[in-house]
Amino acid sequence: MVQPSSTPPPNPQQIQQFLSSVLSQRGPSALPYSEDTKWLIRQQLVSLISNYPSLEPKTATFTHNDGRSVNLLQADGTIPMPFQGVTYNIPIIIWLMESYPRYAPAVYVNPTRDMIIKRPHPHVSPSGLVSIPYLHNWIYPSSNLVDLVLHLSSAFSRDPPLYSQRRPNPNPSPSPSPNPSINSSMTSTYGQHPPPPGPRVAATAAAAGYPPSPYGRVQHPQHSQARPTSTDDAAEVYKRNAMNKLVEMVHGDIIGMRKAREVEMEGMFSAQAVLRRREEEINKGLKEMQDEKEALEQQLQVVLMNADVLDSWIRDNEGKIKNLGKKNNNVDVDEAIHCVDVLSKQVLDSTAADLAIEDVVYSLDKAVQDGVVPFDQYLRNVRLLSREQFFHRATASKVKEAQMQAQVANMAARISHFVS
């Protein structure tokens, strides 16, 4: 087991203050993350550093393939990788892209000068970009950085992505130093952790007490020409290839199932939108019908009240009609109709006077046209008649307003009677 250095662990309070500061910035220096997800980014980074103190949150410039440069958050450091009973430390950088956490981050293996990326590797490209099923199957918001590091450690433990290379030594010593230079080249902000030991001289590896290479390759000292002395077991290689093939097949099936579920979910979302629209239309139609029903009920009440008024009027005037029939020979037109109150009589008198004046003005017009009445006398009479007609019309208008108010009060009383 490689012992970690004595560098103190990061201060959680300082990390929280740093993340709160950079995520709360505004203006041109603001990080390009959505405001409604910044709290989740801060929470996941704090949880990641709490579980893996060898990682440090930073802000750095990330350059896209199209040349765009953007300032992003990253977690830089090492993650543990158990291999053949020994824990190694793999240097990585986890970039939180602009679309994080709705989409997966970008993970890169960050080898030092004394380390080489294994080629080919099922999960790491020659540029260091990591591709594992957990990244492809990233689901917001359940996926997180802590589980990502666990899957990275598990994937790397099955097939380590890095191995160390021997740097030429111009002054070979018969007793190699117990602290190879590779150990000092692998550093992080919070501590130094040695990488997995790679091809080394057998005597050096034995004398230094380091674990064997993750790939089982050890070289003898180069007296004349270096040559490999051992290779991977054929059964182990077959088993590893079979597992990789199985993982790829399962991953392909998962991607296919995921795409099918996404298509199915899109169809369900479309159907849900149609159902919601129909529900709104039905609710709107139901409300309109309820309003129409209430309006019809109010009209029915008005009709019933008017019918009641007419029935009362007929009952009150049946005797007058009979008496009028008996006195058919001497019918007084002015006595044929009786007003029920003073206001009705005022309206009747004003309306009769208005219509009479209208007839007189018409007769004067005909007389002027025929030359019977002089024009100056016509104008004088029309002016006097118009003034009198105006007063009759104003009186009728005021009396009608008073009658309308009385009728409204009567209707309100009748409605309260019907309701009770």
Residue-level pLDDT at 118? 85
DSSP string of 217-228?
Answer: --B---SS---B
117 φ/ψ angles, rounded to the nearest 5 degrees:
-75, 135
Strands of 86-96's sheet in order across: 55-63, 69-83, 86-96, 106-109
- Report the length, in residues, of the chain: 420
57 and 15 in contact (C-beta within 8 Å)? Answer: yes
At the second CATH level, the architecture of 10-162 is: Roll (3.10)
Q: What angle do CA 409, 415, 417 make, to 5 degrees?
A: 105
Residue-level pLDDT at 138? 92
Residue-level pLDDT at 57? 93
Residue-level pLDDT at 393? 92
In which element (H, E) is residue 311 found? helix 234-326
Q: What is the pLDDT along the chain (420 residues), one digit of tens a residue?
A: 333 443 445 677 888 889 988 888 887 888 999 888 888 999 999 999 999 999 999 999 999 888 889 999 999 999 999 988 888 899 999 999 999 989 999 999 998 888 888 888 889 998 899 999 999 999 888 889 999 999 999 999 988 888 877 655 545 444 433 333 333 333 333 333 444 433 333 333 333 333 343 433 333 333 333 343 344 567 777 888 888 889 888 988 998 999 999 999 999 999 999 999 999 999 999 999 999 999 999 999 999 999 998 888 888 777 766 666 565 556 566 666 777 788 888 888 899 999 999 999 999 999 989 888 899 999 999 999 999 999 999 999 998 898 888 888 887 777 776 666
Residue-level pLDDT at 356? 94
Residue-level pLDDT at 330? 60
In the numeric block, the tokens 């479309």 are attached to 270
Neighbouring residues of 149: CB distance < 8 A, sequence distance ≥ 6: 48, 51, 52, 55, 79
Domain residues of the chain, as ranges? 10-162, 251-325, 338-415
Residue-level pLDDT at 342? 85
